[in-house]
Structure 1
Amino acid sequence: MSDGVGNTVLVLVGSLRAASVNRQLAELATESAPEGVTFEWFDRLGELPHYNEDIDNDDVPDVVVALRETAARADAALVVTPEYNGSIPGVLKNAIDWLSRPYGEGALKGKPLAVVGASLGQYGGVWAHDETRKSFGIAGPRVVEGLDLSVPTNSLDGKHPRENTEVAARLRDIVGKLAAEIG
């Protein structure tokens, strides 16, 4: 386990919307980082081409190289995602597919990962969060059990998540525990 000094956490946000509550949760997580932990956002998921093994070669698109290099530099990952139609947003699933390659040796292999997020409905995206954990778990990162937060967006009353004491405290705890998982 790490003391958090000099560690980097990759942040992936499954919503492309600028005003997304999930983006706000990611901001709050960044603000909650323990001393010595840096959050590095990869904010180009919308630019990734659909995964296609035919283009996953020595001439892979630059945005894929950037994603993989950012993930390789990271010591852990925090995924913040909504739920779309009961599942993972397409841009996030596509990123998982790119990060899972080369097969068995992806850039996040063995690194601790946590999944949190917010969505409409009373369960706050729990299905998408479970599916994201499952997909990443197969893709290679070490999904840390018990580090979960699914926020129903209506519970925030239109406010930034940092204004909700319970959400802010739970997210701060998750971020601290994720940082502590870095080996």
Structure 2
Amino acid sequence: MTKILAISGSIRKDSFNAKLAHMMVRHLRARGADAAYLDLSNFEMPLFNEDLLREEQPKCALELANLLAQADAVFIASPEYNGSLTPLLKNTIDWVHHQKLGAFAKATFGIGSVSSGSLAGIMALSHLRDVLSKVGALIAPTALGVGMAARAFNESDELADQRVAARAEALVNELMTLKR
């Protein structure tokens, strides 16, 4: 069974990106995956500082790195902050990468963004793709940009726009089939 994790780069209450990550988990489970949502608020890490690498590192960084290293695929949803990914997500990637467990070397990564604007977080997705590629991740070709966040989901927490929903299904297929 394919093991897939989903993460949101936002820990804000009622986060649209967490909603997208949860939706992807449901769709992946419907396809037979062992899919789970990881809430980054359960992995509190200090601001990355190389001096801390020589001291006692946060245990949760090692725990998260182990979880990611065991996954076949990972979906990351990140809001766009000032044209980029969130500080929370960048800090998490930095800590996990420095655990030296190959957390980004095995899985296929899918990326998505829900944004309040019509550009659907495309700048954040571009930066996220760049950061993930620098740490050795294989990124699925379909990037899932979801614009107009307040109207993006219907009452069943599914994507309201059928074209965007079709892209989500394409990404689900890629996460289920693309392997290293």
Which runs of 5 or more structure 2 residues have no equivalent in the other structure?
A: none
Picking from 34, 44, 49, the partner of 2:46 is 49
Q: Can you list the C-alpha shifts for 1:68-100, whole angstroms capped at 9, x where unaligned? A: 111111111111111011111100111111222
1:11-160 superposed matches below 5 A: 11-33=6-28, 34-45=30-41, 47-57=44-54, 59-102=56-99, 106-145=102-141, 147-154=142-149, 156=151, 159=154
Q: Which has the higher contact order (CA 8 A, sep 6+)?
A: 1
In 2, distance between residues paired with 1:61 and 1:37?
30
TM-score, normalised via structure 2 length: 0.86
Q: 1:9 to 1:57 in 2, by over 3 A?
A: farther
In 1, distance between residues paired with 2:158 and 2:102?
33
| 2:12 paired with 1:7 | no
Aligned-residue offset at 1:118 = 0.7
**Secondary structure of 1:83's match?**
coil
**Secondary structure of 1:116's match?**
strand
Aligned letter for 2:3? T
TM-score, normalised via structure 1 length: 0.85
Percent identical = 28
Q: Can you list the C-alpha shifts for 1:139-178, whole angstroms capped at 9, x where unaligned? A: 1111122x11111125726745505151333212211211
Q: How many residues align?
A: 176
> 1:75 touches 1:111 (CA, 8 Å); kept in 2?
yes
Aligned letter for 2:59? D
Give the aligned CA root-mean-square deviation in angstroms. Answer: 2.2
